[in-house]
Amino acid sequence: MLNILFIFLYIGSISFGGGWAVVGLIKDIMISQNYLTFTEFKEILTAAQITPGPIAVNMATYIGYKYYGFIGAILTTFFLLLPPIIIIASYLMLKKSIKLKKEYFINSLALGTAVLVFITLYSLGAQFIINFDIKAIILVLAIFILLVKTRIDPIFFIIGSGFIAILVL
Amino acid sequence: MTNIISKNRELLSIFYIFLKISGLTIGGGYAMIPAIERNLINKKLITEKEFFNLLSIAQSMPGPIAFNLSILLGRKLRGFWGAVFASFGVIIPPFFGIIIVASLIQANSDSVYVNKFLNGCYIATVGLTSYVLYKIMKNINYNKINIPLFFFGIVFLIINRSLTFFVFVSIVLINYFYEKGGIDC
């Protein structure tokens, strides 16, 4: 229990940029420490996509629920959110004495976040390239292009892609 | 007495606004931001300038953006308890939503169709992640050391994932002090 709470405390403290940065990290830690199988990870990822809320929070809630029931769900969610709560609170208290150049700082955070999101992408998608899974690669590229070119809600791509997989893969 | 009642009512309405937005916007934090913006600005609870100021603070903190933003907005509207009520409103729908949906999926996980469906959703997630990466990288103001730092970070983390925190903090600090032009606190 303590181990899992510590993991979420750690993940919470580096989840910049809306959670996508740490999905890969959650996957690698949970699978390598045998908390989840790859299939279970896929289940949680999909459930997180089709329910409201930030993805990292969804994952924390679900993993807590799976191992320690309702109380576990509350605790893992709370520990994931504890670092942002502490940091926002201390920011609000120290606001006047912090002299950061905001635009540089946000730009630097974006760079750091880009690295973490790339790692998430690598962790989730490298298997398609290694296994030379042409169908999956085409689907990924098609969804990427549609997301860039249109303003369709991502939820349709997720559910649509699920149905395409039933028919084609 | 009436004072206390109206104060409680205001807190409840803050809670309800955030609960509604969080419960109705599927697709993570980024989808929620425009919904929060329209709701609060239309109700004249906050000005556009104040909103974007708080948004940029929320973005520079760790944690889900929508959650961070709800704390800052709640505090701005009604102080400490405003922050508590707003953040609870944001967190309650995903908390119960995930438990319900995940148990539904797990109950049917032996089905071939459910498994294929999950594989398809997983592929879509990879597409979505590449889109998030694209959006972030498009908005960076590039300088000479960005690209080398980016590749350095990637190679380092592919080799050793346990250094994630260290690599992230180093990249942010190196780039910050480079752009700022040295250390002069």
Nearest to A51 among B26, B146, B179 (CB): B26
Confidence band, pLDDT 50/70/90 cuts, at residue B171:
very high
CB contact (8 A) between residue A53 and residue B176: no
Q: What is the mean pLDDT of residues B118-137?
A: 88
Does residue B33 register a pLDDT over 80?
A: no
Q: What is the mean pLDDT of residues B119-131?
A: 90
Percentage of residues in chain B with pLDDT exceeding 70?
92
Does residue B2 register a pLDDT over 70?
A: no
More confident residue, B109 or B81: B81
CA distance, residue A76 to nearest chain B CA (Å): 11
Does residue B87 register a pLDDT over 90?
A: yes
- Residue from B108, B127, B126 nearest B117 by CA: B108
Does residue B44 register a pLDDT over 80?
A: yes
According to DSSP, the residues that pair with B2 across neighbouring strands are none
Helix and strand numbers (H, E) in chain B are 7, 0
Residue B89 near residue B14 (C-beta atoms within 8 A) = yes
Residue A144 near residue A150 (C-beta atoms within 8 A) = no
Residues of A in contact with B137 (CB under 8 A): 114
Which sequence spans correspond to the domains of chain A? 2-129, 133-169
According to DSSP, the residues that pair with B26 across neighbouring strands are A52
pLDDT for the residue numbered B185: 45
Percentage of residues in chain B with pLDDT exceeding 90?
24
Length reported for chain A: 169
CA distance, residue B126 to nearest chain A CA (Å): 6
Q: What is the mean pLDDT of residues B26-40?
A: 73
Does residue A17 register a pLDDT over 80?
A: no
Residues of A in contact with B60 (CB under 8 A): 102, 105-106, 109
Distance CA B122, CA A123 (A): 12
More confident residue, B154 or A51: B154
Confidence band, pLDDT 50/70/90 cuts, at residue B3:
low
- Residue from A56, A45, A46 nearest A9 by CA: A56
Does residue A124 register a pLDDT over 70?
A: yes
Which helix (H) or strand (E) segment is B145 a member of? none
Which sequence spans correspond to the domains of chain B? 2-107, 141-185
Residues of B in contact with A72 (CB under 8 A): none
Find all residues with CB under 8 Å of A69, minimum gap 6, and list them: none
Per residue in A126-143, pLDDT (tens digit) is 989 998 889 999 999 999
Q: Which of A75-79, A88-92, B95-99 has the highest mean pLDDT?
A: A75-79
Please report, for residues A86, B67, B132, the alpha-carbon distance to residue A17 in angstroms, rounded to integers and kept in the order given: 17, 12, 10
According to DSSP, the residues that pair with A52 across neighbouring strands are B26
Confidence band, pLDDT 50/70/90 cuts, at residue A154:
confident
Find all residues with CB under 8 Å of B97, minimum gap 6, and list them: A51, A52, A53, A58, B23
Which helix (H) or strand (E) segment is A32 a member of? helix A20-32
